[in-house]
Each structure stands twice: as C-alpha cells, then as structure tokens.
Amino acid sequence: MANILITTRSVASCATAVSILQQAGHSIRVQIGVGDMPEEVMAGLVAGVDALIVGVDRVTRRVVEAGAPTLKIIARNGVGYNNVDLDAAAEHGVAVTVAPGASAVSVAELALGLMLTLSRSIACQNQCIQSGGWERPMGTELYGRTLGILGVGTIGSEVARRARALGMSVLACDILPNHTFAAQVGFPYVPLEELLQGSDILTLHVPATPETRGIIGRAALARMRPGALLINTARGELVDDHAVRGAILSGVLGGYAADTLLREPPLPGDPLLGLDRVVLTPHCGAYTRQAVERCGIMVAEEVLRVLCGEAPHHPVVRH
C-alpha cells in the first residue's frame, strides 16, 4: 500500500479518480489550501508520501527533498509544470507527469467566452444593471475579426477550430508549426511581429518559459492594433500587468481578460484590479465537470503506473 497526497481540489473532487486509487489498495490523504500552499507546509505534508498529486502548489527543491526517498511521482493535474523543480525531481529519481489534452476543450471554450465578454461588454453591463443602471455600450461581433493565436498546441488548436466556425480569420504563431492542421482549418503561421500587428484579438496559449515570460510587455502592446483585445488563459507570467494597465488606461488596448494571474489570488493594489475593461476569472479554465473527470482519471492512472514500476505515459521531458 502506497501513501498518496492530493493537494488539488479538482482531483480530490473526482470520485472516479479517487476510486481508482483506493481500489488499488492505496491510502489517500487530501490537503487543500487557498492559492499557492506555503513551501514549509508542503514540505511537512510530503514526508513519507509515495505519490504527490498537485495543482498550482509549488513543488520546490525543499519539498522534493522532504519527500525523498519515498516519493516516486509528482503528478500535475494539467499541462503546466513550471511550479515543479524538475532538476530536484530528476536528482531524486522522481517522475513528473502531466495530463495533456484533458482540459483543452474547457480552456478553449473559456477563451472564446472571454472574447465574447469583452467584445459585448457583458460583465460591465451586468454590473451596471445590478447597480441600478441601464446602459447599452456598443458591442462588436467576433464574426469577420482576426484572431491571433500565440501557441497552437492542444488548446490553441481547439481555439482555432472554434474561431473559424464563428467566421473569424485566424493568424497563428508557434515555434513548431503544424502546417497540415493549418491547411485543414484554414489559417497561416506568421512571425510574432505580424501576429501582433494583424490581430483584432490576441489569445495566449504558450507555457511560461525563459523565452515567453513577459512576452506581452510594453513593446508588444505598442505593436498591437489600437483597441485590440488580449486574452490570457495560459500563464500569468506571460504578461506584464503594469504594461497592460497603462495600455488599458491610455486606450491603446481595448480590453484584457485573464484566467491566469502572476499572483493568485491577487492582493489589494494589484495593477489589474479596478479597471472597467479588465475581466478576471480565478484560474477556472480547466474546472468543468468533463475536464475534471478526464484529467483526474489520467492523473490517477499515471500514479498507478509509476507505483507499479511502469513508465508513465505522459512524463515531462526536459529539452
């Protein structure tokens, strides 16, 4: 019997995933925090644990070392892994896995929902009516507009399909372009500069890496079309929040919608708070019944494979 620690609400709430692990005879402990759990708390919890199923909580070197030598796998219930110290995990022989594709449809649908919310001022109009007002700001259709997609992986590709179905033109930028898919859906790959200049709406779907952190800063925003909308359901580190605030206030940027923030939850005084043309959601892109079920099952099966001495199907591969 192995000891499994779950610190992510999504997997803990997935009855199928929990049942898979329990039926295999393993002991499960659930510890859910609010936001990113402090390092010292994580380090204390992981001692003596064989498998760690984690969401946004940081798994630092100290946490990995606290789990050694029993810890065999750190299973992320998503596709991002920037919160895990991969070097420390490799040094201690701990597998790190992700759940690719499980939440692609859910995140893509949220991205489209955020585009509609900004284009039609849905959040602002609701707030106005709730406060006793009755104003109708002029909206803009998505039909006929150009959507720029930065990163056409599993999520970005789902966004591209839906955007084309809505009658939008699509431009894309990716370091590994899939020209077969682009031809099927009907869009070209372009350099980043052309993507910024040619998009009415720019949506981000790349991981946070040394090359992409802060990629949307003052310089990039200045190259975008006046009044363009920016959507971020990827990682908060991709965007310079202070630059976005300045672009919103000056009218250079027509609106910003984000499901991921640099600091989650934001603290009072965060540069994105209190702006009319900013819509924020609490990192809920993958939080649908369907995505939680798919992701939870993938995570549970990866944990069982590693605990049985098998190779995981979706390990994080260092380049």
Active-site residues, by number, are 235, 264, 283
Give which of 117, 185, 125 is closest to 156, Cα–Cα. Answer: 185
Beta strands in the chain (DSSP E): 3-6, 27-30, 51-54, 73-76, 95-97, 146-150, 169-173, 201-204, 228-232, 253-258, 278-280
Q: How many CB atoms lie within 10 A of CB 143?
A: 8
For residue 14, the Cα-to-chain-centroid distance in whole angstroms is 19
* Cα–Cα dist 87/160, whole Å: 34
Prior bond of 137 cis (ω within 30°): no
Give which of 191, 188, 189, 235 is closest to 216, Cα–Cα. Answer: 235
How would you classify residue 312: left for phi > 0, otherwise alpha for psi between -120 and 50, otherwise beta?
beta
Residues 6+ apart with CB under 8 A from 219: none
Structure tokens at 207: 């991981």
Answer yes or no: are the C-beta atoms of 78 and 55 closer than 8 Å: yes
Q: Please report the DSSP string for 4-34 in residue order.
A: EEE--HHHHT-HHHHHHHHHTT-EEEE---S
The amino acid that residue 298 corresponds to is M
